[in-house]
Amino acid sequence: MLIKHLDKLNPDRKLRKILIPLCGKTLDMKWLAEQGLVTVGVEGVQQALDEFFSEAGLDKSETSITGLGSYGKLFQSKDGMIKLYCGDMLQFSSSFEGTFDAIWDRGSLVALDRSDVPRYAQILKDLLNVGGRLLVEVMGYDLDSMSGQ
């Protein structure tokens, strides 16, 4: 899906940095870095980030950080192209990595509590530069078919 729609995120091919909120261990991050983009991810579960680096075959450095909850850490690939924050996305802001021209969001809306979604949306808006682009992959389903499950 990312390959199919990357032109919408990067129409003039000038993009240099991208944010992946709630990144999990998606291999999209390795692919984006290989395209020359500094790839910044934010994920709450450290195991996912450990597995990302090990499955991608990349060495990482680790730094403790404050401001993302009690377990805040930054993991970076040796070449600095992949920077993954372990902490609460609902506390992430431009004070960490500035603002972005592009955000790739896959699977966050199903992972967050519904009551946190408006706050999350505002955080993404604040992180996006004027004219920046946000690509969101969502799932559509019939709510009634899920009732009682």
Binders of ligand SAM among residues 23 to 62 (CB under 6 A) are 23-24, 26, 42-45, 48
User: Which positions from 123 to 142 touch ligand SAM by CB under 6 A, shown as an x/- string?
Assistant: --------------------
Give φ, ψ of 28 to 5 degrees: -55, -35
Q: What is the pairing mode between strands 38-43 and 82-86?
A: parallel
| Min separation Cβ 130 and ligand SAM, Å | 25
**What CA–CA distance (Å, rounded) separates 124 from 116?**
12
Q: Which stretch binds ligand SAM (CB under 6 A): 7-15, 19-27, 29-37, 57-65?
A: 19-27
- Could you say which DSSP state residue 35 is in? T
Q: Is 106 in the site for ligand SAM (CB under 6 A)?
A: yes
| Min separation Cβ 91 and ligand SAM, Å | 8
Q: Is 90 in the site for ligand SAM (CB under 6 A)?
A: yes
Cβ nearer to ligand SAM, comparing 35 with 109: 109
* Cα 89–chain centre separation: 9
Q: What would the two tokens of residue 36 be?
A: 């020359």
Residue type, 16: R
Q: What would the two tokens of residue 72 be?
A: 């805040």
Sequence-ordered list of residues with C-beta below 8 angstroms from that of 51, at least 6 positions apart, any chain: 25
| Min separation Cβ 85 and ligand SAM, Å | 9
Judged by the rule CB under 6 A, the positions of this chain that interact with ligand SAM are 22-24, 26, 42-45, 48, 88-90, 106-107, 110-112
